[in-house]
Protein backbone atom coordinates (compact mmCIF):
# COMPACT_ATOMS: atom_id res chain seq x y z
CA UNK A 1 0.00 0.00 0.00
CA UNK A 2 1.11 3.59 -0.59
CA UNK A 3 1.96 5.63 2.21
CA UNK A 4 3.10 9.07 3.11
CA UNK A 5 2.75 11.32 0.07
CA UNK A 6 0.90 11.39 -3.26
CA UNK A 7 2.48 9.94 -6.38
CA UNK A 8 3.74 12.85 -8.47
CA UNK A 9 2.61 12.55 -12.09
CA UNK A 10 4.30 14.04 -15.15
CA UNK A 11 2.25 13.82 -18.37
CA UNK A 12 4.05 13.69 -21.73
CA UNK A 13 1.78 14.56 -24.64
CA UNK A 14 1.64 15.81 -28.23
CA UNK A 15 -0.71 18.67 -29.03
CA UNK A 16 -0.66 17.64 -32.71
CA UNK A 17 -2.49 14.45 -31.71
CA UNK A 18 -4.62 15.22 -28.65
CA UNK A 19 -5.43 18.63 -30.11
CA UNK A 20 -5.13 18.36 -33.86
CA UNK A 21 -6.68 14.87 -34.11
CA UNK A 22 -8.81 14.37 -30.98
CA UNK A 23 -9.80 18.07 -30.70
CA UNK A 24 -9.28 18.00 -26.94
CA UNK A 25 -10.36 21.27 -25.34
CA UNK A 26 -13.00 21.93 -28.01
CA UNK A 27 -16.67 21.17 -28.60
CA UNK A 28 -17.17 18.35 -31.11
CA UNK A 29 -20.16 17.19 -33.11
CA UNK A 30 -21.99 14.03 -32.07
CA UNK A 31 -25.41 12.57 -32.87
CA UNK A 32 -26.58 14.13 -29.61
CA UNK A 33 -25.24 17.59 -30.43
CA UNK A 34 -22.08 19.42 -29.47
CA UNK A 35 -20.07 17.84 -26.65
CA UNK A 36 -17.01 19.17 -24.84
CA UNK A 37 -13.91 17.05 -25.37
CA UNK A 38 -12.10 16.84 -22.04
CA UNK A 39 -8.66 15.25 -22.19
CA UNK A 40 -6.34 13.37 -19.86
CA UNK A 41 -4.63 16.47 -18.47
CA UNK A 42 -7.87 18.22 -17.53
CA UNK A 43 -9.37 15.00 -16.19
CA UNK A 44 -6.27 14.24 -14.10
CA UNK A 45 -6.37 17.70 -12.53
CA UNK A 46 -10.06 17.34 -11.68
CA UNK A 47 -9.56 13.88 -10.17
CA UNK A 48 -6.63 15.08 -8.03
CA UNK A 49 -8.67 17.87 -6.43
CA UNK A 50 -10.56 17.42 -3.14
CA UNK A 51 -13.50 15.13 -3.81
CA UNK A 52 -11.80 13.49 -6.79
CA UNK A 53 -10.96 9.80 -6.91
CA UNK A 54 -7.21 10.49 -6.93
CA UNK A 55 -7.13 13.20 -4.27
CA UNK A 56 -4.40 12.50 -1.74
CA UNK A 57 -3.06 9.64 -3.86
CA UNK A 58 -1.82 11.41 -7.02
CA UNK A 59 -0.85 14.99 -7.81
CA UNK A 60 0.21 16.65 -11.05
CA UNK A 61 3.91 17.52 -11.20
CA UNK A 62 3.70 19.01 -14.69
CA UNK A 63 2.91 18.56 -18.37
CA UNK A 64 5.41 18.31 -21.24
CA UNK A 65 4.43 18.65 -24.88
CA UNK A 66 6.92 17.56 -27.52
CA UNK A 67 5.58 19.47 -30.53
CA UNK A 68 7.47 21.33 -33.21
CA UNK A 69 6.18 24.25 -35.28
CA UNK A 70 6.11 22.05 -38.38
CA UNK A 71 4.21 19.31 -36.57
CA UNK A 72 1.51 21.73 -35.44
CA UNK A 73 1.07 23.38 -38.84
CA UNK A 74 -2.62 23.64 -39.65
CA UNK A 75 -3.79 22.36 -36.26
CA UNK A 76 -4.88 25.74 -34.90
CA UNK A 77 -2.96 25.14 -31.66
CA UNK A 78 0.13 27.12 -30.56
CA UNK A 79 3.29 25.52 -29.22
CA UNK A 80 2.57 26.66 -25.68
CA UNK A 81 -0.53 27.77 -23.76
CA UNK A 82 -1.30 31.27 -25.05
CA UNK A 83 -4.02 33.70 -23.99
CA UNK A 84 -6.68 34.09 -26.66
CA UNK A 85 -5.77 30.86 -28.47
CA UNK A 86 -7.17 27.37 -28.16
CA UNK A 87 -5.47 24.83 -25.94
CA UNK A 88 -6.16 21.29 -24.73
CA UNK A 89 -7.81 22.57 -21.55
CA UNK A 90 -9.17 25.90 -20.29
CA UNK A 91 -6.26 28.26 -19.68
CA UNK A 92 -7.57 29.06 -16.20
CA UNK A 93 -7.50 25.38 -15.17
CA UNK A 94 -5.83 25.10 -11.74
CA UNK A 95 -4.52 22.17 -9.75
CA UNK A 96 -5.45 21.24 -6.17
CA UNK A 97 -3.11 23.98 -4.85
CA UNK A 98 -4.61 26.68 -7.08
CA UNK A 99 -1.64 26.74 -9.47
CA UNK A 100 -2.46 27.27 -13.15
CA UNK A 101 -1.74 24.14 -15.15
CA UNK A 102 -0.59 26.38 -18.02
CA UNK A 103 2.22 27.53 -15.72
CA UNK A 104 3.17 23.89 -15.12
CA UNK A 105 3.37 23.12 -18.85
CA UNK A 106 6.76 22.82 -20.53
CA UNK A 107 7.54 22.77 -24.24
CA UNK A 108 10.32 20.31 -25.05
CA UNK A 109 10.28 19.62 -28.83
CA UNK A 110 11.22 16.17 -30.13
CA UNK A 111 13.43 17.33 -32.99
CA UNK A 112 14.78 13.80 -33.45
CA UNK A 113 11.61 13.02 -35.44
CA UNK A 114 12.75 15.40 -38.19
CA UNK A 115 16.02 13.57 -38.85
CA UNK A 116 16.12 11.30 -41.93
CA UNK A 117 14.96 7.75 -41.24
CA UNK A 118 18.17 6.53 -42.85
CA UNK A 119 20.26 8.37 -40.28
CA UNK A 120 19.91 5.56 -37.77
CA UNK A 121 22.83 6.51 -35.54
CA UNK A 122 21.92 10.21 -35.61
CA UNK A 123 18.30 9.54 -34.70
CA UNK A 124 19.35 7.16 -31.94
CA UNK A 125 21.73 9.68 -30.40
CA UNK A 126 19.21 12.53 -30.67
CA UNK A 127 16.45 10.43 -29.14
CA UNK A 128 18.66 9.31 -26.29
CA UNK A 129 19.49 12.96 -25.63
CA UNK A 130 15.78 13.78 -25.69
CA UNK A 131 14.97 11.11 -23.16
CA UNK A 132 17.86 12.24 -20.98
CA UNK A 133 16.10 15.60 -20.92
CA UNK A 134 12.88 13.89 -19.84
CA UNK A 135 14.78 12.21 -17.04
CA UNK A 136 16.16 15.58 -16.00
CA UNK A 137 12.65 17.05 -15.99
CA UNK A 138 11.37 14.19 -13.85
CA UNK A 139 14.13 14.78 -11.32
CA UNK A 140 13.65 18.55 -11.30
CA UNK A 141 9.90 18.24 -10.84
CA UNK A 142 10.27 15.35 -8.39
CA UNK A 143 7.98 13.24 -10.57
CA UNK A 144 7.52 9.61 -9.59
CA UNK A 145 5.88 8.47 -12.82
CA UNK A 146 5.69 9.62 -16.44
CA UNK A 147 2.47 8.92 -18.35
CA UNK A 148 2.56 9.17 -22.14
CA UNK A 149 -0.64 10.37 -23.81
CA UNK A 150 -0.20 10.31 -27.61
CA UNK A 151 3.58 10.85 -27.50
CA UNK A 152 3.67 8.14 -30.20
CA UNK A 153 7.29 7.01 -29.91
CA UNK A 154 9.15 4.40 -27.95
CA UNK A 155 10.60 5.53 -24.63
CA UNK A 156 13.33 2.92 -24.63
CA UNK A 157 16.14 4.82 -22.93
CA UNK A 158 14.12 5.87 -19.90
CA UNK A 159 13.04 2.29 -19.23
CA UNK A 160 16.38 0.76 -20.22
CA UNK A 161 19.62 2.70 -19.88
CA UNK A 162 18.15 5.13 -17.33
CA UNK A 163 16.52 2.43 -15.20
CA UNK A 164 12.95 3.72 -14.99
CA UNK A 165 11.11 0.55 -16.00
CA UNK A 166 7.84 0.51 -14.09
CA UNK A 167 7.80 4.31 -13.79
CA UNK A 168 6.78 5.03 -17.40
CA UNK A 169 3.17 4.33 -18.41
CA UNK A 170 1.11 4.80 -21.55
CA UNK A 171 -2.61 5.49 -21.90
CA UNK A 172 -3.75 3.87 -25.15
CA UNK A 173 -7.24 4.54 -26.59
CA UNK A 174 -8.03 0.86 -27.19
CA UNK A 175 -7.48 -2.58 -25.69
CA UNK A 176 -3.87 -3.80 -25.92
CA UNK A 177 -4.41 -7.27 -24.42
CA UNK A 178 -3.36 -9.87 -26.99
CA UNK A 179 -6.06 -12.43 -27.70
CA UNK A 180 -8.85 -10.05 -26.72
CA UNK A 181 -11.49 -9.93 -29.49
CA UNK A 182 -11.33 -6.13 -29.56
CA UNK A 183 -7.57 -5.64 -29.26
CA UNK A 184 -6.40 -2.68 -31.38
CA UNK A 185 -2.72 -1.96 -30.90
CA UNK A 186 -0.71 0.52 -32.93
CA UNK A 187 -1.13 4.09 -34.15
CA UNK A 188 -4.62 3.88 -35.71
CA UNK A 189 -6.94 2.17 -33.18
CA UNK A 190 -9.92 4.42 -33.95
CA UNK A 191 -9.65 3.90 -37.71
CA UNK A 192 -9.15 0.16 -37.23
CA UNK A 193 -12.24 -0.18 -35.04
CA UNK A 194 -14.34 1.87 -37.46
CA UNK A 195 -13.16 -0.16 -40.45
CA UNK A 196 -14.28 -3.35 -38.74
CA UNK A 197 -17.69 -1.84 -37.90
CA UNK A 198 -18.17 -0.63 -41.47
CA UNK A 199 -17.55 -4.21 -42.63
CA UNK A 200 -20.63 -5.28 -40.69
CA UNK A 201 -18.91 -6.67 -37.60
CA UNK A 202 -20.05 -6.05 -34.05
CA UNK A 203 -17.25 -4.02 -32.48
CA UNK A 204 -16.36 -2.48 -29.17
CA UNK A 205 -13.28 -0.53 -28.28
CA UNK A 206 -11.88 0.84 -25.06
CA UNK A 207 -8.63 1.94 -23.44
CA UNK A 208 -5.60 0.57 -21.61
CA UNK A 209 -3.22 2.06 -19.07
CA UNK A 210 -0.09 -0.06 -19.24
CA UNK A 211 3.55 -0.04 -18.21
CA UNK A 212 5.84 0.79 -21.12
CA UNK A 213 8.24 -1.95 -22.19
CA UNK A 214 10.47 -2.32 -25.26
CA UNK A 215 7.53 -2.99 -27.62
CA UNK A 216 4.68 -0.68 -28.67
CA UNK A 217 1.46 -1.14 -26.69
CA UNK A 218 2.75 -4.34 -25.12
CA UNK A 219 3.65 -3.75 -21.47
CA UNK A 220 1.94 -5.12 -18.35
CA UNK A 221 -1.61 -3.83 -18.06
CA UNK A 222 -2.52 -1.65 -15.09
CA UNK A 223 -6.18 -1.22 -16.06
CA UNK A 224 -8.28 -1.61 -19.19
CA UNK A 225 -11.86 -1.51 -20.47
CA UNK A 226 -13.56 -2.69 -23.64
CA UNK A 227 -17.07 -1.31 -23.28
CA UNK A 228 -17.31 1.42 -25.94
CA UNK A 229 -19.70 0.54 -28.77
CA UNK A 230 -18.59 1.30 -32.32
CA UNK A 231 -21.21 2.01 -34.97
CA UNK A 232 -20.81 1.88 -38.72
CA UNK A 233 -22.12 5.44 -39.11
CA UNK A 234 -19.78 6.91 -36.49
CA UNK A 235 -17.40 9.64 -37.48
CA UNK A 236 -13.89 9.25 -36.09
CA UNK A 237 -14.44 12.26 -33.85
CA UNK A 238 -17.73 10.98 -32.46
CA UNK A 239 -16.15 7.62 -31.65
CA UNK A 240 -13.19 9.32 -29.98
CA UNK A 241 -15.51 11.43 -27.83
CA UNK A 242 -17.58 8.39 -26.80
CA UNK A 243 -14.48 6.36 -26.04
CA UNK A 244 -12.95 9.11 -23.90
CA UNK A 245 -16.11 9.19 -21.77
CA UNK A 246 -16.70 5.45 -21.47
CA UNK A 247 -13.15 4.14 -21.40
CA UNK A 248 -10.09 6.36 -21.70
CA UNK A 249 -10.70 8.80 -18.86
CA UNK A 250 -12.18 6.25 -16.41
CA UNK A 251 -9.37 3.77 -17.18
CA UNK A 252 -6.78 6.47 -16.54
CA UNK A 253 -8.33 7.22 -13.14
CA UNK A 254 -8.78 3.61 -12.13
CA UNK A 255 -5.30 2.68 -13.32
CA UNK A 256 -3.55 5.57 -11.59
CA UNK A 257 -5.35 4.71 -8.37
CA UNK A 258 -4.10 1.11 -8.62
CA UNK A 259 -0.61 2.36 -9.43
CA UNK A 260 -0.58 4.78 -6.49
CA UNK A 261 -1.73 2.03 -4.12
CA UNK A 262 0.98 -0.31 -5.34
CA UNK A 263 -1.60 -2.87 -6.39
CA UNK A 264 0.26 -3.95 -9.54
CA UNK A 265 3.33 -6.00 -10.39
CA UNK A 266 5.79 -4.33 -12.77
CA UNK A 267 7.89 -7.37 -13.67
Q: Do 78 and 93 contact (CB within 8 A), yes or no? A: no
For 203-250, what is each residue's pLDDT tens digit? 999 999 999 999 999 999 999 999 999 999 999 999 999 999 999 999
Has residue 67 got a pLDDT over 50? Answer: yes
Q: Give the pLDDT confidence score for residue 266 in this predicted structure.
A: 62
Has residue 123 got a pLDDT over 80? Answer: yes
CA triple 155-206-251, angle to 5 deg: 70
- Mean per-residue pLDDT for 62-86? 96
pTM of the predicted protein model: 0.96
Has residue 136 got a pLDDT over 70? Answer: yes
d(CA 116, CA 118): 5
Instruction: Identify which of 243, 227, 257, 231 has the alpha carbon closest to the alpha carbon of residue 57.
Output: 257
Has residue 3 got a pLDDT over 60? Answer: no
For 165-207, what is each residue's pLDDT tens digit? 999 999 999 999 999 999 999 999 999 999 999 999 999 999 9
Q: Give the pLDDT confidence score for residue 263 in this predicted structure.
A: 87
Task: Label residue 1 by pLDDT band (50, 70, 90).
Answer: very low
Q: Give percent of the chain with pLDDT exceeding 90.
A: 96
Task: Label residue 2 by pLDDT band (50, 70, 90).
Answer: very low
Q: Measured in whole angstroms, how far is the alpha carbon of residue 66 from the centre of its chain?
A: 12
With 0-12 / 13-18 / 19 or more C-beta atoms within 10 angstroms meaning exposed / middle / buried, residue 227 is middle
Q: Do 168 and 214 contact (CB within 8 A), yes or no? A: no
Has residue 47 got a pLDDT over 70? Answer: yes
- Mean per-residue pLDDT for 84-100? 97
> What is the DSSP track for 131-186?
HHHHHHHHHHTT-SEEEEES--S--HHHHTTT--TTSEEEEESSB--TT-TTB--S
- Mean per-residue pLDDT for 5-23? 96
Has residue 65 got a pLDDT over 80? Answer: yes
- Indicate the DSSP class of residue 33: E
Domains annotated for the chain, with CATH where assigned, are: 7-261 (3.40.50.170)
d(CA 9, CA 44): 9
Amino acid sequence: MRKHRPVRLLILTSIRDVGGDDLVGQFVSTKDGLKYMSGVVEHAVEQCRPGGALHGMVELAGVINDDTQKGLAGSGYPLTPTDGERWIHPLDLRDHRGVKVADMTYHYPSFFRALPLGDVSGRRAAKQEYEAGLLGAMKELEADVLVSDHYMAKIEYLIGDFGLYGRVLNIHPAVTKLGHPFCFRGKTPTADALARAKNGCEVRTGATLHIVNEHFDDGPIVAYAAETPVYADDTAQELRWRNYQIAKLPVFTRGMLRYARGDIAVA
